[in-house]
Amino acid sequence: MHLDARHSENPPLAQKQVYDNIAECELLASSSVIDEKNYQTDFIVPGMHCISCIRSLENNIGKLPFVSQVRANLSLKKVSVVWRKGAGNISKIDHTISDAGFEHSLFDLANTADVHSDNSSKNLLIALAVAGFAAVNIMLLSISVWAGADGETAKLFHLISGVIAVPAVLFSGRPFYHSALSALKAKRLNMDVPISLAVLMALGMSIYESMVGGREAYFDAAVTLLFFLLIGRYLDNLMREKARNSVVQLSRLSAKGATLVSKNASTSYIGLNEIQPDMVLRIKPGERVAVDGVVIKGRSDMDRSLVTGESVPVVVKTGSQVEAGTMNLTGLIDIRVLRDASHSFLAEITRLMEAAENGRGRFTRIADKMAQIYAPAVHLLAALAFIGWMIVTGGDWHLSVYVAISVLIITCPCALGLAVPVVHVIGARRLFKEGILIRDGSGFERLEEVDRIMFDKTGTLTNGRPKVKASTIGEDSQAGIAKALAVNSSHPFSRAVADYLTQPQSGVVENIEEVPGAGVEGWVNGTLARLGEINWVKEIACVENRNDQLSATGLGFALAGSPIARFDIDEELRSEAPETITELTRTGIALEIISGDSSDRVTKVAQQLGVSEFRYGQSPTDKIERINQVQMAGDKVLMVGDGLNDSPALAAAHVSIAPADACDIARQSADFVFTRQSLLAVPFTLKIAKRTGRLVRQNFALAIAYNSVAIPFAMAGYITPLIAAIAMSASSIVVVANSMRLNAGGGIGKTTDTKTGNLSMDKLNSNQKTVVEQA
């Protein structure tokens, strides 16, 4: 289905050009900007349901000269295309998807949940019910024939069976026939082609036997075969819906629109896609925030469990930032929009969740290659089985066709196609429940391989908030002057001093200036005052009475010609840092701290945590050189960091993790992002990655073992089409069930509802409960 339904079979050239221009405008309007030259357009493709479909879409779209990347997500039925602006007619993407035999539509963030709430499971269940009803009734008639009915009675029972079977097979088999026909029209093969061929061949044999008065008819086999195939397809669809449930839940957190406050203070409702940066939106109690913004008016309690994982409401006021998907609980607030919906926090989380299945790691590439050769191999094996049995039996085409049908069914590589993506989707969902997001499914494989973990110190192992531990400053007017300087500085150490000093600001401090790398200075009644780096403050101070018992790495304060007062500043370890290091030490992986901080601070943290390897004074270049040095020696590095200076190291490492409060560049560079404050996310993610790797290998072993045993038996004639259908469905169910074992085990915190990740109701007061329930 083209985006513009007005396409006719053979439109005039001028009319087609008009339609192409319209389609191109629609595509451009629905695309998101990646950078100056690249755009991304997302499509929903409901008919995509196997590895062959993915390969066909990615290969055909990837051949367009202006397309730089294509990723098809099987669980979400979504295709993401990255293309270069101005390099070609982008309406060709639309035509290419249609020419490949797939109906499609543009992806709409506001309607994501509705897109995935399709009727596929309902339709499959109806088809399954019809096939089951027909199979039971035909089986009763067949039992009568097997029990001794002969002559006209047997013919009558065959006729009645045919009357039931033909419409049942034609109706219930539509999910397979429609997919197979679309593939053949596009001159490609998918796994529904051999399935459809097998079912129709069984039905055709049954009709033929009935028409020529044969002793046996296969109506029961044809219908029962379809019944078990539908069971497998329905369960597979059900499992995929469950696997993508986290993304659908996220989509349901997205508001459909918001109340716009115009410059004349009037209000109007606008859709989500109409919201632009710098607009002012009004968020009422019980409403979810549509896009990221900053509060410019009002005060309220917000449910930010989606962001922090903490169920306790957070107070927001003027200047506070709010994220898309968070819920306003109590008060009316106005926000100024920071980003549109496609670049919001909620959209980013959704993209990260979707990326889990899109990863093209080593295991995924192996599965793709094997599944790629399977489609033609299935038909070749079935043809060889037919020819071989025709030769062996002297031309018994009944038995030869019967064996070929069994081979067509049993060689379907559904289990192989499910081996990797199902585990990755379930693994991503498992991490999401604990507030951890994965950017790429291949991250699981890379994390499983690490030999060494390198931690940044500030903001990673420590809480990143410096605190004054002790000071020599008195409680006189100098403390007030020091506070006046501190509150006018943006440096974290200055903010720590401002928090420490309880005295009110005193004196009139003029011409305050922050000196980068040194501190802040100002003039008090003609006297220079400085707060900052010790040696810089010494330049104006009388140092005879300085106190050398405090750390030389703290801050100093002095008025010109007066003694120095010192502030001993330190950072606190994250409360869970010791437990995190202990858990990681048990795994046998080497641990190292690599920080740009001073020697004494890094050494102190390393000693507190029991980490023997540490490096201090490391610039971003030094960190990259250290990572490259270790990786060239054969060890694979996991880098954990949060700062702007950690971003190059996060990108250079084999795999990387960053907290959600890291800078934007650090989060973009990391493979995993944890949204809660607990550092225990690191060993938990490592554990899930190792379990994911084991389950993928087990799934490969199960799929290969199944095919190694089943194919020879089917070609040898020991397996009937009915048994083949049961075995094929069972192999897929076994692989999915094995993958679901990843859900077992405890998490890293229970502050939120483990099913939804939403606010725990027992943490709210009665008024807040009422607001949430109404919402």
Rounded to a whole number of angstroms, the CA Rg of the chain reads 33
The pLDDT of 764-771, averaged and rounded, is: 36
Q: What is the pLDDT of residue 664?
A: 64
Other Cβ atoms less than 10 A from the Cβ of 314: the count is: 17
SS3 label, residue 334:
strand
* Residues 457, 580: Cα–Cα separation, whole Å: 14
Residue 572 is given by DSSP the state P
What percentage of the chain reaches a pLDDT higher than 90? 10
Q: What is the pLDDT of residue 359?
A: 47
Q: Two tokens at 182?
A: 């679309």
451 phi/psi in degrees, rounded to 5: -110, -20
* Displacement of CA 525 from its chain's centroid (Å): 60
pLDDT by residue (tens digit) across 559-595? 888 888 888 887 788 888 999 999 999 999 999 999 8
Tell me which H or E stretch contains 270. Answer: strand 267-271
Cα distances (angstroms) measured from residue 610 to each of 68, 69, 579, 729? 47, 45, 11, 52
Q: Which residue has the higher pLDDT, 542 or 524?
A: 524
* Residues 414, 709: Cα–Cα separation, whole Å: 16
> What number of residues does the chain have?
775
Q: What is the pLDDT of residue 201?
A: 80
- Domains, the chain, in order of start with CATH, read 11-110 (3.30.70.100), 115-248+367-424+690-734 (no CATH), 257-339 (2.70.150.10), 436-451+576-675 (3.40.50.1000), 465-572 (3.40.1110.10)
AA identity, residue 255: A
At residue 509 the predicted structure's pLDDT band, cuts being 50, 70 and 90, is confident
pLDDT by residue (tens digit) across 733-763? 788 788 888 887 766 644 333 333 333 333 3
223, 135 contact by CB (below 8 A): yes
* Residues 616, 610: Cα–Cα separation, whole Å: 16
Helix 219-243 × helix 151-172 angle, to 10°: 20
* Residues 441, 429: Cα–Cα separation, whole Å: 12
385, 714 contact by CB (below 8 A): yes
pLDDT by residue (tens digit) across 689-735? 999 889 988 988 888 888 788 888 888 888 877 677 677 777 777 88
Q: Two tokens at 775?
A: 């919402």
311, 763 contact by CB (below 8 A): yes
> How buried is 746 (Cβ within 10 angstroms: 0-12 exposed, 13-18 middle, 19+ buried)?
exposed
Q: What is the pLDDT of residue 541?
A: 81
> How buried is 744 (Cβ within 10 angstroms: 0-12 exposed, 13-18 middle, 19+ buried)?
exposed
Q: What is the pLDDT of residue 771?
A: 31
Please report which residue ranges of 411-544 form alpha helices under DSSP H.
414-418, 421-433, 442-448, 477-486, 492-500, 534-538
For residue 114, indicate whether it is catalytic: no
AA identity, residue 75: S
The pLDDT of 73-97, averaged and rounded, is: 78
pLDDT by residue (tens digit) across 142-180? 776 666 666 677 778 778 888 898 999 999 988 888 878
Q: Two tokens at 110?
A: 């506001």
486, 457 contact by CB (below 8 A): no
pLDDT by residue (tens digit) across 176-204? 888 788 777 777 766 677 778 878 887 88
Between CA 79 and CA 43, with CA 127 as vertex, the angle to 5 degrees is 10
Closest to 464 (Cα-Cα) out of 751, 666, 759:
666
Describe the chain by its helix, strand, coil percentages, rounded to 5.
Answer: 50, 15, 30
202 phi/psi in degrees, rounded to 5: -65, -40
Q: Two tokens at 88?
A: 């070609």
SS3 label, residue 42:
strand
Closest to 197 (Cα-Cα) out of 171, 158, 225:
225
Mean pLDDT of the chain: 76
Tell me which H or E stretch contains 707. Answer: helix 681-715
Model pTM score: 0.58
Cα distances (angstroms) measured from residue 764 to each of 286, 315, 771? 14, 13, 10
416, 371 contact by CB (below 8 A): yes
Other Cβ atoms less than 10 A from the Cβ of 380: the count is: 12
Catalytic residue, from 303, 440, 456, 671: name it: 456
